């Protein structure tokens, strides 16, 4: 039984609790004439007859009765500022807004509970040890593995693994670093021989250095000269005019 189905017998009203809420909000019954204490007593008597407390239903009743109490207290003891700020019609709208907000949270809680119950089969369940394993004497224990096999397994864990061969991993060469190397080589001299300066580098580094030389040429910082095919490359810096 939900709280809206609670039957009431009051001086100014008789019927279910949800109907009382409806007639109060439509101003068909003056809230000042409704004895809210009798409503609370009727609900407590209902709980005693039922013999159990449903938290969701009790929460709904507390929200509704608290909203009615606040609205009635404003009607009974209005202050000047409260009258200016909140008219009776606005108080009814505020009560409706609170009821709608409560129902949203209630529906959200029901959805979360439904999802929790649907996923209950996937939750971790801890279980105690079987009775035969709770108190077992050492003499009654039986070996599950050969001791020599266990010792060999532990010995393998202590062996230092061989060093990994990383020769197949190609190093990364930064274009910015090769630009800096070219600028350093041109610093303080008008030109230099490419093979003498970078001939000791690996092929990947030399290739990236050539790309860096092209970038310097595009920026107008350097040029080069090669007098014959496969001959030495002379790198020259920019001459200031």
Residues 128-137: tens digit of each pLDDT: 777 776 776 6
* Higher pLDDT pick, 239 / 235: 235
pTM: 0.32
**Mean per-residue pLDDT, 65-81:** 69
pLDDT at 70: 76
- Judge whether 63 and 99 are in contact, CB under 8 Å: yes
pLDDT value at position 84? 46
3-state secondary structure of 193: strand
| pLDDT for position 14 | 58
Please, which pLDDT band fits residue 20 given cuts at 50, 70 and 90? low
Among 1-5, 98-102, 187-191, 193-197, the range scoring the smallest mean pLDDT is 1-5
Average pLDDT over residues 75-91: 56
* Calpha distance 22→19 (Å, rounded): 5
- Of residues 7 and 75, more confidence is placed in 75
User: Mean per-residue pLDDT for 166-193?
Assistant: 85
In this prediction, residue 40 carries a pLDDT of: 75
Residue 37 above 80 pLDDT? no
Q: How far apart are CA 110 and CA 183, in angstroms?
A: 71
Which three-class secondary structure state does DSSP give residue 117?
A: helix
CA distances to 12, 13, 189, 225, 231 from 33, rounded to whole Å, are 7, 10, 105, 108, 112
**192 pLDDT exceeds 70?**
yes
Tell whether the model's pLDDT for residue 140 goes beyond 50.
Answer: yes
Contact 67, 97 (CB under 8 A): no
Mean pLDDT for 170-198 is 87
State the average pLDDT for the chain. Answer: 76
What is the structure's pLDDT at 201?
A: 87
- Mean pLDDT, to the nearest integer, of 50-73? 74
> In this structure, are residues 195 and 233 in contact, taking their beta carbons and an 8 Å threshold?
yes
* pLDDT at 241 (0 to 100): 44
């Amino acid at each position: 039984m939900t709280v809206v189905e609670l039957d009431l017998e009051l001086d100014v009203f008789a019927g279910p609790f949800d109907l009382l809420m409806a007639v109060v909000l439509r101003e068909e019954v003056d809230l000042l004439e409704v004895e809210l204490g009798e409503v609370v007593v009727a609900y407590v008597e209902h709980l005693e007859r039922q013999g159990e407390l449903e938290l969701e239903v009790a929460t709904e009743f507390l929200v509704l009765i608290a909203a009615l109490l606040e609205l009635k207290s404003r009607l009974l003891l209005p202050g000047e500022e409260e009258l200016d700020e909140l008219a009776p019609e606005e108080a009814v709208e505020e009560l409706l807004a609170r009821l709608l907000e409560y129902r949203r949270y209630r529906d959200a809680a029901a959805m979360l509970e439904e999802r929790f119950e649907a996923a209950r089969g996937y939750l971790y369940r801890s279980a105690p040890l079987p009775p035969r394993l709770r108190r077992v004497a050492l003499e009654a224990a039986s070996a599950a593995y050969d001791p020599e096999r266990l010792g060999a397994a532990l010995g393998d864990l202590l062996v230092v693994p061989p060093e990994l061969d990383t020769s197949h991993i190609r190093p990364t060469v930064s274009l910015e670093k090769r630009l800096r190397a070219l600028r350093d080589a041109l610093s303080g001299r008008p030109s230099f021989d490419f093979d003498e300066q970078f001939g000791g580098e690996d092929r990947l580094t030399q290739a990236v250095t050539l790309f860096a030389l092209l970038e310097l040429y595009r920026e107008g910082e350097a040029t080069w000269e090669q007098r014959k095919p496969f001959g030495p490359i002379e790198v020259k810096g920019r001459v200031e005019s």
